């Protein structure tokens, strides 16, 4: 398989439609962050949205004109504006999505620039609803929301629970800008394909801690960012996800209420939970950095400094991925990670063969902007047929999608 580069940012065309809700102010951050990456961003403001933010704000943040219905109805234009915008966009985001616009989308209405552009476009559309809790829970809104879900063009994020602008506490908050940005990145990577629909994916993430006493432990610098990216990518592609993780930031889970998440601390706890969840999984992705040894003895009270042993007796930790490999069923696929320094391919290939993995992700931890705690990563993917693919430096979410691209492709090849 050949190396392939991600599309340059300037070739990414993102159209953002804003409807009339107080959450419109959050969209300014989305537009600003997208423009900072070098992506081409264009915006549409409905008439009611202009009561909350102005076209000048969005045009300044996006470095492109912001379009309104006044632009739509100009007779001197060449090609119709909604056709141009619909053909131009790679991803179309509607945020906030109001109950009114949701009803229009379900009914196929085209009474303004935004709804006309929806019908004139073919790209994936990300919907980020935001409204009062009672409006969100109202039967017509829920009926419309359920009716639009089966349409493969539409992808949804949120709403989240919290304190709303009307002082209500409940569902209705628009998803946070970072969560929307992550989903946009996924849609740019996948084109909106849902090729993991029906798959149940078990993911381990973060590091483990082996305590000597209540305040001291043996651990590693793993932050769980790669595991979080894998979980997000899998959900965006339609999978059901179970996440078994060590201590890590789990704020991203607020946007994914369907994820079954289990927090563990020690390798033994992670081992037990993964074995418990293994029978229902189709794929297992072991991105967690699990310890190899633990202190032989545990002190229930903090040891005084003078009592710390000069030589710390250690005992080996059972290998989780080997156990999972031995206990899995024939249809279950197992993907491992091999964080290495120096030559990363040889030990990764040995791990794949010894532990009978379907795929291993060899990633360097001794290079700049890669490995533990970084926002980016690079890797070499190897499968049991001896194929390999080099992934150049990219975001961890992009790497997660490349891993799933490979896994899907090799699964299809195996079936044929």
Reported as a single tens digit per residue, the pLDDT across 375-397 is: 999 999 999 888 999 999 999 99
Supply the mean pLDDT for the chain.
Answer: 92
Examine the domain organization and report whether 290 and 376 are in the same domain.
Answer: yes
6-15 mean pLDDT: 78
Examine the domain organization and report whether 408 and 280 are in the same domain.
Answer: yes
At residue 389, the pLDDT reads 93
pLDDT tens string 160-179: 777 767 767 767 789 999 99
The sign of the dihedral angle between the CA atoms of 136, 137, 143, 148 is positive
Active site residue 166: yes
3-state secondary structure of 159: coil
The answer to whether 361 and 390 have CB atoms below 8 angstroms apart is no
Give how many domains the chain has, as a whole number.
Answer: 2
At residue 2, the pLDDT reads 29
Work out whether strand 160-163 and strand 169-173 pair parallel, antiparallel, or are unpaired.
Answer: antiparallel
In a domain, 131, yes or no: yes
Among 138, 157, 190, where does a domain finish? 190
Q: What is the rounded CA–CA span in Å between residue 33 and residue 31?
A: 6
Query: What is the domain range of residue 224?
Result: 200-415
Examine the domain organization and report whether 127 and 214 are in the same domain.
Answer: no
At residue 7, the pLDDT reads 59
pLDDT tens string 299-315: 999 999 999 988 999 99
% residues pLDDT > 70 (the chain): 95
Give the closest residue to 202 by CA, choosing from 266, 281, 288, 279: 281
Q: What is the rounded CA–CA span in Å between residue 186 and residue 247?
A: 25
Catalytic residue among 28, 66, 166, 394: 166
In a domain, 317, yes or no: yes
267-294 mean pLDDT: 96
The answer to whether 180 and 126 have CB atoms below 8 angstroms apart is yes
224-246 mean pLDDT: 96
At residue 52, the pLDDT reads 95
Domain of residue 237, CATH code? 3.40.50.10300
pLDDT tens string 129-166: 999 888 899 999 999 999 999 999 999 998 877 776 77
Which DSSP string do the residues of 98-109 spell out, in sequence order? PHHHHHHHHHT-
Report which secondary-structure segment, H or E, holds 172: strand 169-173
| Region of poorest pLDDT, from 10-14, 47-51, 67-71, 186-190 | 10-14
Confidence of residue 263 (pLDDT cuts 50, 70, 90): very high
At residue 73, the pLDDT reads 76
Q: What is the rounded CA–CA span in Å between residue 94 and residue 118?
A: 10
| E-assigned strand segments in 267-331 | 283-286, 293-295, 314-316
Examine the domain organization and report whether 122 and 57 are in the same domain.
Answer: yes
Report which secondary-structure segment, H or E, holds 231: helix 225-236
Residue keyed to tokens 């691209």: 405
Give whole-number Cα distances, 176 to 30, 272, 335, in Å.
9, 34, 31
Tokens read off for 149: 């879900």
Residues 6+ apart with CB under 8 A from 311: none
Give whole-number Cα distances, 270 to 220, 222, 227, 265, in Å.
15, 15, 14, 7
Kindly tell me if the per-residue pLDDT of 76 is higher than 80.
no
Confidence of residue 414 (pLDDT cuts 50, 70, 90): low
Examine the domain organization and report whether 37 and 132 are in the same domain.
Answer: yes
Q: Quick check: pTM over 0.75? A: yes
In a domain, 195, yes or no: no
3-state secondary structure of 93: strand
| Higher per-residue pLDDT: 234 or 168 | 234
Confidence of residue 4 (pLDDT cuts 50, 70, 90): very low
Examine the domain organization and report whether 148 and 205 are in the same domain.
Answer: no
Examine the domain organization and report whether 291 and 149 are in the same domain.
Answer: no
**CA angle, 7 as apex, 79 and 204 as ends, to 5°?**
130
In a domain, 402, yes or no: yes
80-88 mean pLDDT: 94
| Higher per-residue pLDDT: 119 or 159 | 119
Among 160, 190, 220, where does a domain finish? 190
Domain of residue 145, CATH code? 3.40.50.1950
At residue 371, the pLDDT reads 84
In a domain, 67, yes or no: yes
Examine the domain organization and report whether 95 and 215 are in the same domain.
Answer: no
Examine the domain organization and report whether 184 and 238 are in the same domain.
Answer: no
Among 190, 223, 247, where does a domain finish? 190
- Angle of helix 139-148 relative to helix 99-107, nearest 10 degrees, comes to 50
Q: What is the rounded CA–CA span in Å between residue 223 and residue 215?
A: 19
Q: What is the rounded CA–CA span in Å between residue 28 and residue 26?
A: 5
DSSP 49: G
In a domain, 2, yes or no: no
pLDDT tens string 186-222: 999 999 999 999 999 999 999 999 999 999 999 999 9
Kindly tell me if the per-residue pLDDT of 11 is higher than 90.
no
Examine the domain organization and report whether 144 and 273 are in the same domain.
Answer: no
405 CB burial (10 A radius; 0-12, 13-18, 19+): buried
The answer to whether 185 and 91 have CB atoms below 8 angstroms apart is no
Examine the domain organization and report whether 134 and 231 are in the same domain.
Answer: no
The answer to whether 285 and 315 have CB atoms below 8 angstroms apart is no
In a domain, 1, yes or no: no
Work out whether strand 210-213 and strand 293-295 pair parallel, antiparallel, or are unpaired.
Answer: unpaired
Kindly tell me if the per-residue pLDDT of 236 is higher than 90.
yes
Kindly tell me if the per-residue pLDDT of 358 is higher than 50.
yes
Examine the domain organization and report whether 262 and 163 are in the same domain.
Answer: no
Report which secondary-structure segment, H or E, holds 361: strand 359-364
325-350 mean pLDDT: 94
In a domain, 156, yes or no: yes
Q: What is the rounded CA–CA span in Å between residue 399 and residue 404?
A: 9
Give whole-number Cα distances, 223 to 205, 259, 342, in Å.
8, 19, 22
């Amino acid at each position: 398989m050949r190396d392939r580069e991600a599309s340059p940012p300037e070739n990414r065309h993102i159209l953002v439609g804003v409807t009339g809700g107080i959450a419109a102010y959050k969209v300014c951050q989305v537009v600003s962050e997208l423009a900072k990456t070098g992506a081409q961003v264009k915006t549409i403001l409905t008439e009611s949205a202009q009561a909350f933010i102005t076209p000048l704000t969005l045009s300044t943040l996006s470095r492109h004109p912001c379009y309104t219905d006044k632009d739509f109805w100009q007779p001197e234009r060449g090609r119709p504006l909604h056709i141009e915008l619909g053909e131009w966009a790679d991803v179309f985001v509607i945020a906030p999505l109001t109950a009114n616009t949701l009803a229009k989308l379900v009914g196929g209405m085209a009474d303004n620039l935004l709804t006309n552009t929806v019908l004139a476009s073919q790209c994936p559309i990300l919907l980020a609803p935001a409204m009062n809790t009672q409006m969100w829970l109202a039967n017509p809104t829920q009926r419309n929301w359920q009716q639009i879900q089966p349409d493969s063009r539409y992808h949804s994020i949120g709403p989240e629970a919290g304190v709303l602008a009307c002082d209500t506490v409940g569902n209705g908050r628009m998803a946070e800008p970072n969560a929307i940005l992550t989903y946009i990145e996924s849609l740019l990577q996948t084109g909106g394909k849902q090729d993991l629909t029906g798959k149940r994916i078990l993911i381990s993430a973060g590091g483990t801690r082996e305590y000597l006493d209540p305040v001291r432990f043996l651990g590693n610098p793993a932050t769980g960012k790669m595991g979080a990216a894998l979980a997000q990518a899998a959900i965006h592609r339609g999978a059901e996800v179970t996440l078994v993780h060590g201590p890590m930031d789990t704020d991203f889970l607020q946007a994914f209420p369907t994820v079954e998440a289990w927090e563990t601390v020690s390798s033994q706890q992670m081992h037990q939970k993964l074995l418990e969840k293994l029978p229902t999984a189709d794929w297992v992705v072991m991105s967690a950095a699990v310890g190899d040894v633990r202190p032989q003895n545990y002190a229930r009270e903090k040891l005084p400094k003078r009592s710390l042993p000069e030589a710390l007796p250690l005992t080996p930790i059972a290998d989780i991925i080997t156990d999972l490999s031995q206990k899995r069923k024939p249809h279950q696929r197992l993907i491992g990670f091999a964080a290495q320094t120096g030559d990363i391919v040889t030990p990764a290939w040995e791990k794949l063969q010894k532990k009978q993995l379907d795929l291993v992700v060899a990633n360097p931890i001794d290079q700049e902007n890669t490995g533990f705690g970084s926002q980016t990563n690079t890797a070499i993917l190897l499968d049991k047929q001896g194929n390999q693919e080099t992934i150049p430096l990219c975001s961890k979410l992009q790497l997660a999608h490349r891993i799933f691209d490979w896994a899907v492709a090799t699964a299809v090849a195996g079936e044929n």
